[in-house]
Amino acid sequence: MPQTLLAETLLGDGRTVSIVEPTSADAAAICDLIREAFGSRATVEPPPPALAETPQKVAAALAEGFGVLAVVDGVPVGVVIVSLDGPMAGIHRVSVRPGYQRQGIASAMVEVAIELLTARGASAVELVAREEFPQVVAWWRRHGFVEVGREGTSLTLARQLPVRLEAPSADDTRAIGRRLAGVLRAGDVIIASGDLGAGKTTLAQGLGAGLAVAGAIISPTFVLSRVHPSTVGGPALVHVDAYRLGSFAELEDLDLEVSLDDSVTFVEWGAGIAEGLAEDYLELDIRRSLDPDDETRWIFLTPIGGRWTASRPELEAL
């Protein structure tokens, strides 16, 4: 069975890194790679189980879950093993061959692993990282993982995976917004991302219709923030465009806190800026299809915090 090409990325020297799904035929090479990568780290006690990896165990892990392999010039240089046991998935053995590290290979592999897990319906993913490697822990935190447990110096880090919705047309995106409005209540914050023209404002139009607020929902680009009061005594919709804002401090100048508790706050271009608004928020990312003739949008909803994790089933039913 041939390897399946999942993604490609480039090294600093211009060589292509192919991200593929390996097969059991790759088990021995993957085992060598894991042992080499983990063996090159500083020694820790107790030693990581990765150092006792065998081709048989790798083959079994690939059969039960799946792998993500990075290949340069036909040679494996990075691997991630993913286990999928019910809704909670696990990421294991994140390995990049010495000499290929710090070039985005681990990020590319983890991104692909998370996309595959999302497509296969997993709702959360966890992993174990050693406290002795604070830069590794910091790397996972930058990828959205938070500490959920610890045993000795082994930290369990986890993150929610997005709920993925398909919107073939602009009307479908509006309809998703309208249904999402049914899940919303005062105090909710939605942080939206996606390229220019992805459909963030289109989805906000559906939210506005669902919340029955006054005023046309248009791109607030030149206004930065617009308040749409409810016509039915419900929460207002505060529609914000953070495109021109560089920091949370600039967003704070908009005084969104004043309206936050009584409104639904929807921030376009909010990723990396608006997370300070609330501890719990819904991350919304809209992606276009890779085919330029296809207007389908993929809408990814990631619950952050207890309010949203508890509402995950309602998001899945949208």
Ligand X SMILES: Nc1ncnc2c1ncn2[C@@H]1O[C@H](COP(=O)(O)OP(=O)(O)OP(=O)(O)O)[C@@H](O)[C@H]1O
Residues at the site binding ligand X, with contacts judged by CB under 6 A: 167, 169-170, 172-173, 194, 196-202, 219, 268, 295-297
Nearer to ligand X, 202 or 263 (CB): 202
DSSP track, 43-107: P-SSPPGGGG--HHHHHHHHHHSEEEEEEETTEEEEEEEEEEETTEEEEEEEEE-TTSTTSSHHH
Residue 290 binds which entry of Mg ion, ligand X, none, with Cβ cut-offs from 5 to 8 Å by kind? none
Distance CA 290, CA 296 (A): 9
Residue 263 binds which entry of ligand X, Mg ion, none, with Cβ cut-offs from 5 to 8 Å by kind? none
For residues 27 and 55, is the Cβ–Cβ distance under 8 A? yes
Nearer to ligand X, 297 or 312 (CB): 297
**Residue 219 near Mg ion by CB under 5 A:** yes
**Residue 160 near Mg ion by CB under 5 A:** no
198-226 burial by CB neighbour count: b if 16+ within 10 A, else e?
A: bbbbbbbbbbbebbebeeebeebeeebbb
Residue 295 binds which entry of ligand X, Mg ion, none, with Cβ cut-offs from 5 to 8 Å by kind? ligand X
Using CB under 5 A as the binding rule, the residues of this chain from 244 to 273 that contact Mg ion are 268
Residue nearest ligand X by beta-carbon distance: 199
Residue nearest Mg ion by beta-carbon distance: 201
Name the β-bridge partners of 76: 71
Distance CA 66, CA 191 (A): 31
Nearer to ligand X, 20 or 204 (CB): 204
Nearer to Mg ion, 97 or 200 (CB): 200
Cβ at position 204, least distance to ligand X in Å? 7
Using CB under 5 A as the binding rule, the residues of this chain from 171 to 200 that contact Mg ion are 200
Residue 297 binds which entry of ligand X, Mg ion, none, with Cβ cut-offs from 5 to 8 Å by kind? ligand X
**Residue 101 near Mg ion by CB under 5 A:** no
Cβ at position 40, least distance to Mg ion in Å? 46
Residue 271 binds which entry of ligand X, Mg ion, none, with Cβ cut-offs from 5 to 8 Å by kind? none
Q: What is the DSSP letter of 20?
A: E
For residues 190 and 280, is the Cβ–Cβ distance under 8 A? no
For residues 7 and 108, is the Cβ–Cβ distance under 8 A? yes
**Residue 201 near Mg ion by CB under 5 A:** yes
SS3 239: strand
Cβ at position 216, least distance to ligand X in Å? 13
Residue 265 binds which entry of ligand X, Mg ion, none, with Cβ cut-offs from 5 to 8 Å by kind? none
165-194 burial by CB neighbour count: b if 16+ within 10 A, else e?
A: bebeeeebbbbbbbbbbebbeeebbbbbbb
Residues that bind Mg ion (CB under 5 A): 200-201, 219, 268
